[in-house]
Structure 1
Amino acid sequence: MKRLIAIFAALLVLSVSSVAFAQKLVVAHDTNFKPFEFKQNGEYVGFDIDMWKEIAKRMNLDYDFQPMDFNGIIPGLQAGSIDAAVAGITIKPSRAEVVDFSDGYYDSGLVILVREDNNDIKDINDLKDKIVATKLATSSVDLAQQYVPKKNIKLFPNNDNMFMELMTGGADAVIFDMPVVKDFEAKAGKGMVKVVGPIYQGQAYGIAFPKGSKLVSGVNKALKEMKADGTYNELFIKWFGYAPAK
C-alpha cells in the first residue's frame, strides 16, 4: 500500500508539472534589434530567436513568437498577455520590481555613434548641446537624460528610424546598446559612422517573465546546460562572428 501511495504521489507531481506548461506560451521579441532579432526573408531571425528555440526544445515548451515594439513588452508582461520576452532586455532594478528575469545571458553596455566626419564629439560629456537619438523605453534614454537636455533627445520606436535620423543629419549622435550599434557600424553604416568614447553602464540582458513565473528556474537550468555543452558558444559565434569572453 505504501508503495502504491508513493507511486501515485510521484505521478501526481509529474502531472501537475506537465499541466503548468501545457498551454501554448506567448513569447514576445523586439521587431528590430539586429543581430538579436530582426526580419530577414520574411521571417524573424537572430541570436535571441535561436537561443529561445533551443531553450524551449530542452524544456519541451509549446509557444508562439509575438513580435512587438520594445516599449510594449514590459507592460505586456505586467498585464499577463505575454508569458516571456526575449528582446535584449537590460536587467535593471526598476524593471526587476515589476517583472522577473532569468540569469543574464549577454553582457552589454551603451556606446555613442556619430557620423564619420564628426570630430566634435569624443565622449558623453560632449553631448550637452547636441541632438541625440535613441530608442523609446530603453536604458539608453536614462543615460542620455543625465547628459542631454530632454528637449534635445529624440525618441524612436525602432532602431532603423534612430539610425536614419543620425545619417540624415537630424541628430548629432545616437546612444544605444553596444552590440546593435557595432553591427550597424560594421554593416549598414560602414564607412559612414563611427563609435566614439568608451562603453558606458556595463549591463546584462535577461529573459523577462511576469512576476512569479514558474518558467524562470527551468530557463536558467537550460541556459547553464547550453553554456556547458558548447551550444551557447555556437550560437554566439554564428550571430556575432566571434567567441564570447571567458
Structure 2
Amino acid sequence: MTVLKSFALAALAAVLAFPSLAADLPDLGGREVVVVTENAYPPLQFIDVRTGEAIGWEYDAMNEIARRLNFKVSYENTSWDAMIPAVSEGQYQIGMTGISIKEDRKEKVDFSDPYLRSEMFMLVRGDEDRFDDAKSFAALDSGLVGAQPGTTPFYVAVYDVLDGNEQNPRIKLMETFGATVQALKTGDVDMVLTDGVAGKGYAEASNGGLKLVGGPLGADDFGFIFPKGSDLVAPVNAAIAAMKADGSMDALNKKWFLDYKIGG
C-alpha cells in the first residue's frame, strides 16, 4: 500500500467516524466574502513563479471552508502592516497571512480557532559558519537579522535572540518576508527567522545556498482574523473543526509542507 493510499484511507476513516460534522455546518446561502492576504509567506500564500497564480495552504483551506459553508470567496491583497487595521475597519471580512494569535491583536480583531501551529527557526546562508544557534548569533556583534515589523519573526528576534530592544540596529526592517530572504541571499543580512516548514522548503529549493540552524525559538498558533463581532467567526470555526476531524487539515499539511517544493 502506498503512503498516499494509506493517507487517503485514514482520511476516509476519519470522515466515517464523524458523519454528522459536514451536515451540521451552517449554510451561508452563497453570500460574498472578501478575504485579504499578502501573498508573501510560502507555503501559506504566495505567487507561484512558474504560473503567476496565487496559491498556498491558506488558499486551499479557505476555498474548502467556503465550499463547506456555501459562501462565495474573493481575494484581495494588502501589505502586512495594513492588514489588521483594514480588517478591523471592516474593509475586508477575513484576513489570512499566517497571523499569530496575540492578546493585543484581539483588541482590534476577532480570531478564528487555531488552524496551524508555527515554530520559528533560523534560516542562514549555506556557507555560514560563524554561528549555529541563537546564543552564538547574539554574541556575533556584526550579525544582522532581517524581519518585517510587527510580525512573529520580528518579536522572536527581539526577545528570544537579541536583547529585548525593539529598536536594536541589528534588526533590519523590510516590507515583505520575501525581501528578508532575498537580503539574506545577497548578504545584506545574516539570518532570517521563519516557520520551520517554510524554512525547510526554502533550504531545499536553494541547492545548498540556504540552511536551517539551531532549534525552535518560539511557537505560535495561526488564526484567521475578522472585524470585531463578525458573524463569520462561529461558522469558520465549525468548518475548521470539521476539517481537522475528517483529515482535511492533515492532507493540506502533507501537500504543502511535505510534497510541494518552493520554486520547483
TM norm structure 1: 0.84
Aligned ranges 1:83-102 → 2 under 5 Å: 83-102=93-112
Task: Between 224-233 and 43-52, report the one with greater CA deviation.
Answer: 224-233
How many Å separate the matches in 2 of 1:157 and 1:192? 23
How many Å separate the matches in 2 of 1:186 and 1:109? 18
How many Å separate the matches in 1 of 2:31 and 2:245? 29
What does residue 8 of structure 1 align with?
none
Cα shift readout 1:46-72 (whole Å, capped 9, x = no counterpart):
110000000011111122111222222
- Tell me the SS of whatever aligns to 2:47: strand
Cα shift readout 1:179-200 (whole Å, capped 9, x = no counterpart):
222211111x230111111111
Q: Structure 1 residues 197 and 161 mapped into 2: Cα distance closer, same or farther (>3 Å)? A: same
- Tell me the SS of whatever aligns to 2:215: strand
1:194 corresponds, among 211, 228, 243, to 211
2:198–2:257 CA contact under 8 A, matched in 1: no
Q: Structure 1 residues 236 and 184 mapped into 2: Cα distance closer, same or farther (>3 Å)? A: same
Matched residues, percent identical? Answer: 32
How many Å separate the matches in 2 of 1:144 and 1:228? 35
What does residue 91 of structure 2 align with?
81
1:135–1:176 CA contact under 8 A, matched in 2: no
1:184–1:190 CA contact under 8 A, matched in 2: no
Task: Between 102-111 and 21-30, report the one with greater CA deviation.
Answer: 21-30
1:26–1:63 CA contact under 8 A, matched in 2: yes
How many Å separate the matches in 1 of 2:182 and 2:46? 17
- Tell me the SS of whatever aligns to 1:226: helix
2:255 corresponds, among 226, 232, 238, to 238
What does residue 143 of structure 1 align with?
156
Aligned ranges 1:93-172 → 2 under 5 Å: 93-128=103-138, 129=141, 130-146=143-159, 147=162, 150-172=168-190
1:132–1:174 CA contact under 8 A, matched in 2: yes
Cα shift readout 1:102-153 (whole Å, capped 9, x = no counterpart):
1111111211111122112122123332111122331111122230562111
Q: Structure 1 residues 80 and 21 mapped into 2: Cα distance closer, same or farther (>3 Å)? A: farther
Aligned ranges 1:5-16 → 2 under 5 Å: none
Q: CA deviation at 1:174?
A: 1.0
Q: CA deviation at 1:221?
A: 0.7
Matched, 1:37 2:45: yes
Q: CA deviation at 1:22?
A: 6.5
How many Å separate the matches in 1 of 2:77 and 2:176? 12
Aligned ranges 1:190-229 → 2 under 5 Å: 190-229=207-246
How many Å separate the matches in 1 of 2:29 and 2:149? 32
How many Å separate the matches in 1 of 2:133 and 2:155? 17
Matched, 1:175 2:178: no
**Number of residue pairs aligned between Structure 1 and Structure 2:** 224
How many Å separate the matches in 2 of 1:55 and 1:163? 31
Matched, 1:72 2:82: yes
Q: CA deviation at 1:170?
A: 0.7
Q: Would you tell me which structure has more strand in proportion to its own residues?
A: 1
- Tell me the SS of whatever aligns to 1:66: strand
- Tell me the SS of whatever aligns to 1:194: strand
TM norm structure 2: 0.79
**Gapped runs of 5+ residues in structure 1?**
1-16
How many Å separate the matches in 2 of 1:133 and 1:178? 16
- Tell me the SS of whatever aligns to 1:151: coil
1:135–1:159 CA contact under 8 A, matched in 2: yes
Task: Between 38-47 and 147-156, report the one with greater CA deviation.
Answer: 147-156
Q: CA deviation at 1:85?
A: 1.0
How many Å separate the matches in 2 of 1:37 and 1:164? 17
Q: Report which of the two structures shows the higher radius of gyration computed on alpha carbons.
A: 1
